[in-house]
Amino acid sequence: MLYVLRGFSFAVARSIGGADFLTERQMSNTIFVLNGPNLNMLGKREPGIYGGKTLKDIENECEEAGKALGFVVECHQSNHEGVLVDLMHQAGERAAGVIINPGAYGHTSIALHDAIRAISVPVLEVHISNIHAREEFRHKSMIAPAAKGMICGFGPYGYIMALNALKNITA
């Protein structure tokens, strides 16, 4: 019955009598796209590394691609680690999956690592640049061991790749 109801909102499924045993998260088709520090500066910050697209451009592309895949994409950006942890916890309750570009927190945040391990939905780490071809301090990700996978070096298209991967692993 879950498969048949996939894509319906919890309220709709409940109204037709199919949600008695399901939680709202199990029925969700929402994907959280989380962006960390300094990603609000995309389009202005080091365009030679990150390209000319703004974060809003990337969010619009994610929403459009997500819709084509049957997802509702909910985008958030914060320069504050605790806010991202709180959003990860919310995703664990409300989303089918998470795409996170943790920015510099990817290299330092045990808190985000632990937040990912605390939820049961798949989390994919995305970086616009190839972190392994940059400064050595960027080579290590604290997120990768807790995430389902990592996509890096494909520019903003990495977000679309992640949405396609989530479609595949949540189907």
100-127: per-residue pLDDT in tens? 999 999 999 999 999 999 999 999 999 9
Q: Is 7 left (phi over 0), alpha (psi -120 to 50) or beta?
A: left
- What residues are labeled active site? 50, 127
77-105: per-residue pLDDT in tens? 999 999 999 999 999 999 999 999 999 99
Residue 170 Cα to chain centre, angstroms: 13
Cα separation, 111 vs 114, in Å, equals 5
Q: What CATH superfamily classification does 25-170 receive?
A: Dehydroquinase, class II (3.40.50.9100)
The model's pTM: 0.83
Q: Rank 19-23, 135-139, 150-154 by mean pLDDT and report only the highest.
A: 150-154
What is the layout of strands, in order, in the sheet containing 149-152? 72-77, 30-35, 97-101, 123-127, 149-152
What are the domain boundaries of the chain?
25-170
Residue 66 sits at φ, ψ, to 5 deg, of -60, -45
